[in-house]
Structure 1
Amino acid sequence: MDVQLLVYDLSQGLARQMSMGFLGFQLDAIYHTSIELNGREYVYDGGILAIQPYSSHLGHPFEKVPLGTTTRTIAAIEVHLDTLRPRFTAAAYDLFRHNCNTFTDTFSHFLVGHGIPAHITGMPDAVLATPMGRMLLPQLMQSGMTGGNRGANGGGSLLGLQETAQPATPIPAAPVANGRPSHLHHTLRLPSFSNVDATQPVLFGKVPPLDKLLSKLGDEVAAQPVVHDLRVYLEGKAANTKSVSTPDLASLGKFVRESVTTLPRATLFAAVDLFRCSLADARVSAFFAAEEVDHATVQSVVGVVNSEDVPYALRLVTLQMACNLFGAPAAAARSLLSDAILRAALVQLVSASFLDDAHVSARSAAASLLFNIAVTARKTKTPAQALPADDQVELAASVVEAIGQEQASAGALQGMLAALGHLVYEASLDGELADLLRVLDAAGVVASKARQFPEEPLIAEVGAELLGKGLLA
């Protein structure tokens, strides 16, 4: 598939007219970019979105730059975008350092093996190096974002979608005590981790071809009423049918638990995958996260994967199933961590899955599950109680080891770094977690990946800032 960089001018021609006189050098545009691929335009606009090409208020780009041809499949691209979403949120947006061009540069590396043109990524530094540039650039960008035709929603976002010149969700000021920040981490430049309230869990909601999936279960199982109802529900969701009813959730749980005890391990993944799809609905995940007694259904699936040498497909869908539980409303998601038995099982699932050297998707999904666990713990009033020190230490040890061993996938590494960052942010500097990270030389382990993955910005943010400066006692 051909990959095109779409280049827009936020200044609407002002940069070309004014730059020589004010800056002393010619600047053709205040660049905003997106990626056109397979009939969609991918853009960082308060989140990573796929829109109809040229449908924003910016209209058509003034330039289209061919980046090359990607051999990645659409499925692989969607998985990679899921790993990027926790980094490219509304709260993480920075006008100069973490913007739409940062996203397209990162996405381009994954698609075609190289970034976008350097004159685009280097534009903020070139302009900000001049006194007049430091004064004019924010105004020029703000003009492009709020002027001209606006989006259909009537708001002042860059594309008429979500993005604004400032983060859509304001980053709260760092807590202070006696005039000083209450934690060393609040003084560091950590845009990916400073506003956890705006961070969303990683979910796996894509529904596979249901005919093919049900055929794995066999005619007798597929004909069960609960499976029929589940299929109708999933097809209705996929078709965006309004007011689609959920299947009977108690019956669904019973079906999954019975499948664990009756189906061969080689086909059990199909039943778990159906369950995983349903959990992408917050109504369903809320029931299994907070209402079902002892989390019996989830425990039955995770218990099998933790206790047996199961096929890769079953491990993968179990990781994705567990991720989707954290899409439940906040109070329900927190109850997952308050169940000590389930929490221990999830910690074991993550740690063991990081050891799967043969399957990058399993390692990526394990990173996503750790990310969801760490973010949910941070959102509680007492994070240390939500995720006790023993669990923090085990998860940190496993993910640091996984980071050190990751050789194949930039996406998996990025997910691991994001998960580790949320696990460590605001941790006690004299606690067990901090001590472990120092003993493991976690900062050095992360920094060592820069040579192999030179385009990954989280290496510096997590390695040098959070684990370097941020662990100074």
Structure 2
Amino acid sequence: MTKVELYVYDLSNGLAKQLSRQLTGRQIDGIWHTSVVVYGKEIFYGQGISITEPGKSHHGRPLQVVDMGETAIDEATFEEYLSEMREHYTADKYHLLDFNCNSFTNDVVGFLTGGSIPSWIKDLPSDFLSTPFGAALRPTIDNMYRRPVPGATPTPPAGIAQSAANAAAASPNPQLAASLLQAVAAQAAGGQQLPTPSPSGTSTPSTQTVAAPIHMVTNPASWHSTLKSHRAVTAFFTSATCGPCRMIEPIFEEIARNKTQGRSPGQVAFAKIDLGTGMSSQVASEYGVRVTPTFIFFLDGKKIHEMKGADGPELRTQVDLLLYQAFPPHPHQSLSLPAVESLSLNPILFQQVPAFDNVLNKLNGFIEASQTWPSAPSKDHVQAAFTKVILPYLKARFPSTPEAQKKATPAVPATTILLNKWAEITGVLAEALLPAELFPVADLWRLALLDEVVGGWAAAANNVPAGSCDPVVTLLSKAALTADDPKARNYLLVVLRMLSNAFATPSLARRLLTQDSTLREQLTSFLVRTLLHDEVAVRTAAASLAFNVAAYLQKLRVERVRSGGSIDADGGDGDWEVEMVSAVVEAIGRETQSEEVLHRLTACLAFLLRLSPLYEEHLGPLLEVVQASSTLKGKLEKGGCGENGVTKKDIRQLITEVAEKLCP
């Protein structure tokens, strides 16, 4: 028996652990490279299959050594296996995400021990691609590993430019991310020059990299690992001498790419099994496969269908049928919901431009009257910052009248220096002024968040410099402490409108709802309380914020359905969704004055319920307990909302549809 070890390296040399949350919103501890150590040799894949003395590769000392057990296979048999693998794991097929060193080590470990490498290594590409930044960078990474077509006419690489633009929108620091990506790619390539991107965006069939999430299976162990770790699996049995296999292969890769997009790891896998490679013939024998191409479809590890031949339409049909069985559509997808579907998913924004000079005069009065002002910065310093820096930007960016628009000077850019300074004095004012005196500050931020540059900065404002503050968190925290104070009515109103405007920038909305759980809890608690406020204007603003929250969530799920992904991919948050639905139903029950508030609350409820992966297990039973359907229908009757109940036709239609079709 011979010991088998897995050497684990971090291609980012610690940068991923330091910067991943900033760039992707998710903690990634390393960009893992692995090699197998056995028979006194270290074997790895990069520029083809390489062999060196343990710890002597260009990667240096391993970060971690994982014991993979022992093998009874003799060295001569293993050398024969590697010889076959060299025809499969060639340098031109290497891909940083899809076909890399970890694909190779997983196959080798499977051959030697019958096991597989740890899931935290195997699942890293899927974890990265599930982030907005990872999805945006995918085209760029693919281009790095795509070979040019001989004789093709070069065309401008528009796809690269577009993916870079998408990455810029998805990350607060795309330049840093690009540098990290290049460093990782260079390490992965072993210090060699990367393949030249193809200007035409195409590649030759003979050197085309595996640019789709396809599992390359070369032995029974790796096959059974794939089968065990995925709910739905489509296996493509092929061979190098099979002409029809080459015809159907591009279709198989396209289906694999489309059907795995947006799905969580462990849901769907597409496996390619070349009968002439490694021990793949044993996998074929297990299922009696004697001809190629053959496709076998598995659900929960069990074979449910087999298809022979290169029939593209039939292959698409069988894959769709497999995924339908594995992930049946949400029950609401089959419902006719014209009133709900006609609702806009765009956020409700508060875009009124205030009289800036009046706002500044009001704020200056509060500053002058403050009895708790800190020693530094001085009142004069803060007032000068508003007068000379902040208001000039706002007046140029948001002209208040047509005349002002004509006379407006070129917009002052919202630079990081300006915003950091503004955030710093916001923190000072939040400490020195009473909540009732802070509404001018919140109102100016409310308007500024309509600027996508400011929204993008605020999305990363948890990284503000020392001595500054995160204005969204600071102003929300102050409002949450005074939600029941009648004197703070104006401040509550403006903060709700400010938070609504935060949804003008997707990255900031993502931070509020998915990236920062503490911030989401604080926002939700504040929202739940203000939905029941005595003042109708406050309830209107709160209902608008609730609508924006639900519309953002609904948009994510609709896009996932349209792309062929699973609604269950986001998993949902049971406790949070139950809290939101409970609060909205209660607010609907108490609303007897404003049809507009009722309209926004009902739309919010519709978005929270429709396509929720938690509907049957959590939300449906809750709706029955709180009698949501009868509560909604009660709004249509006399006294339900106003003297005669809801009178506007479109609101009545929406309430009826939600009550009868989405509430049990």
**TM-score band, normalised by the shorter chain?**
0.5 to 0.7
1:371 matched to 2:547? The reply is yes
Query: Alpha carbon RMSD of aligned pairs, Å?
Result: 2.8
Aligned to 1:354: 531
The offset of 1:192, in angstroms, is 4.7
TM-score normalised by L of structure 2: 0.41
Q: Which runs of 5+ in 2 are unaligned?
A: 1-322, 366-378, 400-404, 561-566, 638-644
The offset of 1:415, in angstroms, is 1.2
Aligned to 2:596: 411
1:433 matched to 2:593? The reply is no
Aligned to 1:469: 661
Q: What does 1:3-402 correspond to in 2, within 5 Å?
A: 177=324, 182-194=329-341, 199-218=345-364, 220=379, 223-239=383-399, 240=405, 241=408, 242-246=410-414, 248-293=418-463, 296-308=470-482, 309-310=484-485, 311-328=488-505, 330-337=506-513, 338-357=515-534, 359-380=535-556, 385=570, 388-402=573-587
The offset of 1:227, in angstroms, is 5.0
Q: Which runs of 5+ in 1 are unaligned?
A: 1-175
The offset of 1:296, in angstroms, is 2.8
- CA distance in 1 between counterparts of 2:393 and 2:571 reads 34
Q: Is the 8 A contact 1:188 1:466 kept in 2?
A: no
SS of corresponding position for 2:353 = coil
The letter for the 1-side match of 2:621 is D
Structure 2 counterpart of 1:453, from 640, 643, 646: 646
The offset of 1:445, in angstroms, is 0.7
The offset of 1:468, in angstroms, is 2.6
Q: Is the 8 A contact 2:435 2:479 kept in 1?
A: no
- CA distance in 1 between counterparts of 2:328 and 2:476 reads 41
- CA distance in 1 between counterparts of 2:528 and 2:500 reads 15
Q: Encode CA deviations 1:279-323: one digit per residue, 9 max, x unaligned.
A: 111111121123443883211111111123441001001101111
- CA distance in 2 between counterparts of 1:360 and 1:275 reads 23
The 3 A distance-change label for structure 1 pair 281 and 270 is same
The offset of 1:392, in angstroms, is 1.2
The letter for the 2-side match of 1:293 is N
Q: Which has the higher contact order (CA 8 A, sep 6+)?
A: 1
The 3 A distance-change label for structure 1 pair 307 and 353 is same
The offset of 1:454, in angstroms, is 2.8
The letter for the 1-side match of 2:345 is T
The letter for the 2-side match of 1:416 is L
The offset of 1:360, in angstroms, is 0.8
- CA distance in 2 between counterparts of 1:331 and 1:238 reads 22
The offset of 1:209, in angstroms, is 1.0
- CA distance in 1 between counterparts of 2:571 and 2:326 reads 29
Q: Is the 8 A contact 2:636 2:652 kept in 1?
A: yes
- CA distance in 1 between counterparts of 2:383 and 2:398 reads 21
Q: Is the 8 A contact 2:512 2:520 kept in 1?
A: yes
SS of corresponding position for 2:473 = helix
SS of corresponding position for 2:598 = helix
% identical aligned pairs: 29
Aligned to 1:84: none
Q: Is the 8 A contact 1:203 1:327 kept in 2?
A: yes
Aligned to 1:57: none
The 3 A distance-change label for structure 1 pair 403 and 218 is same
- CA distance in 2 between counterparts of 1:407 and 1:303 reads 30
The letter for the 2-side match of 1:457 is D
